[in-house]
Structure formats: structure tokens, C-alpha cells
Amino acid sequence: MGSAATPAIPAQHGSPRHIAGLRRFNVAPASLAEELLLSCCHSRRWAERVTAHRPYPTLDALLAAGDEAGYDLSAADLDEALAAESSAAPHPDAPPAAHTALRAAHAAYESRFGHAFVISLDGVRPGERLDQVLAGIRSRLGNEPEEERVIAADELRRLARARLTFGIAGS
């Protein structure tokens, strides 16, 4: 028994805003797409690679491509991406002691590892972010430099995913 083959059309997951943002990203000139991607992960090679595989049929496909490109970053690519990151400040309403503690923690981290502390706070409630950052810095300060590079690369991939979702596809 034969049946007529119908082409598989990937489901468009996400909000209409994500779908519209992804469509705009897919048709943007390559130079603009790369610049947009650099706001998600500041590795030129990563941005070129993700741009080169357009169009993406779904947000999930874009996120998978970003992950794959992130896993393939060379040491120099990772250095480039980490150099563009900056340490996040606490919410302006945080008490002065929180600002002081965070500045000191960031300074200790940057002195030890030579780049800003990166952590994805996707899914962390706003009221818990400061504690999460401070706890993360404290726990990661004891890492060996190579171990911390692996963790920082993973956090950078997580940040890129969130930025792709809410920046590129959410525009």
C-alpha cells in the first residue's frame, strides 16, 4: 500500500514574535546577521558559522546550530568571546554592601582567570540573581584555570542560547 509522500514541514515552536524574528534573521544580509550574532557570542568564527547555515526552519534549529558552533570554538575563539563579556552589576536597588561584595568577587575572579565571570541566569528569579552570582564566583574561584575555561565555555553557550532566543528570534 503506497501513500503519496508529503514533505515534512518542521513545527514552528515559540511565540509568533519568535517566529517573526527568526524569519527576519533568516533573510537579513549576512553582514547584518553576523553583527546580530556577535551580540549573542562575541566570537567572529561562531557568528560566521551560524550565519552560514541559514535559513533555520525553527528556533530549535537555530539554537542547535549555536550550540554546535559553541562546542567547536578554538582557544582563541573562546578568548575573543570571553574578552567581550563584562561583569554584571547588581540591581540598582541592591544595598551598598551587595555592590561592594560583588565588585570584590568580580575583581578576584578576573585577577585569577583573566576574564569576566560569565554565568547564565536563565530561569533564576530576579531576587535570587545576586546570591546566585556571588555563590557561583565563590565556588568557581577554587577551580584550576583549565577546568574554569571549560565551565566558562559552557556558561557562554548557555548565555548565547538565551540571547539568541530573546535577542535574535525575539526581535
pTM for the predicted model, two decimal places: 0.85
Tell which wins on pLDDT, 171 or 15.
Answer: 171
Count of Cβ atoms closer than 10 Å to residue 132 Cβ? 14
According to the model, what pLDDT value does residue 171 have? 64
Count of Cβ atoms closer than 10 Å to residue 130 Cβ? 21
According to the model, what pLDDT value does residue 6 have? 32
Alpha-carbon distance 101 to 145, whole Å? 23
Task: Summarize pLDDT for 30-75 with one digit per residue, the tens.
Answer: 999 999 999 999 999 999 999 999 999 999 999 999 999 999 999 9
Query: With bands split at pLDDT 50, 70 and 90, how would you rate the model's confidence at 13?
Result: very low
At residue 134, does pLDDT exceed 70?
Answer: yes
Q: Which three three-digit cell numbers place residue 149? A: 575555561
Buried b (16+ CB within 10 A) or exposed e, 64-91: ebbeebbeebeeebbebbbeebebbebe
Alpha-carbon distance 5 to 8, whole Å? 9
User: What average pLDDT does the segment 114-139 reach?
Assistant: 94
Query: With bands split at pLDDT 50, 70 and 90, how would you rate the model's confidence at 167?
Result: confident
Asked if 97 and 105 count as a contact pair (C-beta separation under 8 A), the reply is no
The amino acid that residue 159 corresponds to is L
Task: Summarize pLDDT for 65-106 with one digit per residue, the tens.
Answer: 999 999 999 999 999 999 999 988 888 888 999 989 999 999
Tell which wins on pLDDT, 18 or 65.
Answer: 65
Asked if 107 and 148 count as a contact pair (C-beta separation under 8 A), the reply is no
Asked if 151 and 143 count as a contact pair (C-beta separation under 8 A), the reply is yes
According to the model, what pLDDT value does residue 15 have? 56
